[in-house]
Amino acid sequence: MDSIRDKRGYICDMDGVIYHGNRLLDGAKEFVQWLLENDKLFLFLTNSSERSPRELREKLARMGLDVTEDHFYTSALATASFLASQKPNGSAYVIGEAGLVKALYDAGFSMNDVNPDYVVVGETRNYNYNHMEKAVQLVSKGALLIGTNPDLTGPTESGIAPACRALIAPIEMATFRQAYFVGKPNPIMMRQAQKRLGCAASETVIIGDRMDTDIIAGIESEIETVLVLSGVSNKNTPNLFPYRPDHILNGVGDIPS
């Protein structure tokens, strides 16, 4: 535990680590207070593309946590940055929420449902057959298929819900094209996060609830890893994977305590 507390920088997932839906998880408030009181560098790194950093800040504020916008980095921001580097001032047909659309606008992209450069898919509760049909048509005509993250499911207050990879799968199957996913564990998002954090890998720890995104992202980036059991994983989950986290904790509240 001392090796975790001695780190200078903390990359922390949000869904299943800090909150479920609109419910703050046990120990999360104490963990954030500990980060602030000890002048730790930290970044909330989420594969969810639904909300902007401002909306995430406001969400935590409603739960009683005061965290500034610069502490948030999302797969929507990572996707927008990546696409802007690939095709500056490009266009996209977007299936997703406001956080993804805003990130693409801010990166210089325009919305286009006729002949876009990309079809970009993120989490959304407004997904329907018309969106799917339109995306299939555009990808078949040459648009490139991008997913904000490779998560199949995400935790909610009542269990799990389909996430980006589950939503994009019908488009892949109908077009015989494979999407490119920008979010964790893609090294692109991890490198962007480390640059924002300003810490070397040896000074950093990544905390998450998913073996297939958070933990493998840390291993491949040579960052110490902490799996918490407050989200989609339980104590048996690591046995299903050919790699292990450095630490397994019940929740982030175990770190300051």
26 classed as catalytic: no
Q: Give φ, ψ of 36 to 5 degrees.
A: -70, -45
Q: How far apart are CA 108 and CA 168, in angstroms?
A: 24
> Could you say which of 13, 151, 214, 254 is catalytic?
13
Active-site residue, 209 included: no
CA distances from 49 to 99, 182, 256 (A): 6, 11, 29
Q: Which of 2, 6, 15, 209 is catalytic?
A: 15
DSSP of the chain: -HHHHT-SEEEE--BTTTEETTEEPTTHHHHHHHHHHTT-EEEEEES--SS-HHHHHHHHHHTT----GGGEEEHHHHHHHHHHHHSTT-EEEEES-HHHHHHHHHTT-EE-SSS-SEEEE---S---HHHHHHHHHHHHTTPEEEES---SEEEETTEEEE-HHHHHHHHHHHHT---EE-STT-HHHHHHHHHHHT--GGGEEEEES-IIIIIHHHHHTT-EEEEETTSS--TTGGGGSSS--SEEES-GGGTT-
Among all residues, which ones are annotated catalytic? 13, 15
